[in-house]
């Protein structure tokens, strides 16, 4: 309730404005003290430390709206209505999104990683429409793909260290092809591939 804090605006205006009070009756409302919450629980919301936050979430914890500035209660009614429409849209699209995610998982099982990444990136391009659960699953898939790419890169480095240059070069090419959308790993693989390729050419080994 500090004079420079939006908590006063929320407490004295927004939460006492009759129309917003009625709207919030259809929501499950919780109060969380930042000091008692785990840092990783709040990290996804990128909250300012000097301001209170009002978060509108879907039923699976996906963010619909974040308010960290003072607000006109009458205007905020439209925000609440928009958040409800977005929540309904996420629910409506959830099965379609899960089906596309399952398709990406099939590509991963087939070792067609670039195809899987294209599907996952396509889903993430409409992040706002993804429910909390779907977004979590997709981000987990991309994290696992990055770990797989890192393992392959480490294996390629091991082969290079053991002077198995041709095998190393071929693995780098595979990493480039299959993980092109993981930019950092792709750049690293490209750098090593060029280095190994130059060494092979000096040895008289022809590569395509």
Q: Is the pLDDT of residue 143 over 90?
A: yes
> In the chain, what are the domain boundaries?
7-202
pLDDT at residue 208, rounded to an integer = 63
- Report the C-alpha gap between 30 and 36 in whole angstroms: 13
pLDDT band at 1 (very low <50, low <70, confident <90, very high): very low
pLDDT tens digits, 37-78: 666 677 778 888 778 889 999 988 889 999 988 889 999 999
Local confidence band at 4 (pLDDT 50, 70, 90 cut-offs): low
pLDDT digits (tens, 9 = 90+) for 158-197: 999 999 999 999 999 989 888 988 888 888 888 888 888 8
Cα of first residue to Cα of last residue in the chain, in angstroms, is 68
C-alpha span between 9 and 16 (Å, rounded): 10
72 contact partners, CB below 8 Å, separation of at least 6:
none
**Whole-number Å distance between alpha carbons of 49 and 63:** 18
State the pTM of this model. Answer: 0.74
The span from the CA of 193 to the CA of 131, in Å, is: 40
């Amino acid at each position: 309730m500090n004079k420079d804090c939006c908590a006063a605006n929320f407490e004295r205006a927004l939460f006492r404005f009759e129309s917003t009070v009625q709207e919030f009756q259809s929501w499950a409302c919780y109060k969380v003290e930042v000091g008692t919450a785990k840092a990783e629980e709040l990290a996804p919301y990128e909250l300012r430390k000097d301001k209170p936050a009002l978060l509108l979430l879907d039923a699976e914890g996906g963010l619909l709206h974040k308010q960290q500035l003072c607000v006109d209660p009458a205007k905020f009614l439209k925000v609440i209505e928009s958040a409800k429409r977005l929540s309904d849209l996420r629910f409506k699209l959830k099965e379609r999104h899960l089906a596309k995610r399952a398709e990406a998982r099939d590509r991963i099982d087939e070792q067609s990683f670039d195809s899987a990444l294209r599907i996952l990136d396509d889903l993430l391009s409409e992040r706002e429409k993804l429910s909390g659960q779907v977004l979590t699953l997709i981000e987990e898939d991309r994290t696992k793909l990055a770990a797989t790419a890192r393992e392959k890169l480490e294996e390629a480095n091991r082969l290079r260290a053991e002077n198995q240059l041709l095998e190393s070069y071929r693995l780098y090419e595979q990493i480039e092809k299959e993980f092109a959308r993981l930019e950092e790993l792709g750049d690293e693989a490209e750098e090593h591939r060029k280095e190994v390729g130059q060494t092979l050419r000096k040895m008289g080994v022809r590569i395509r």
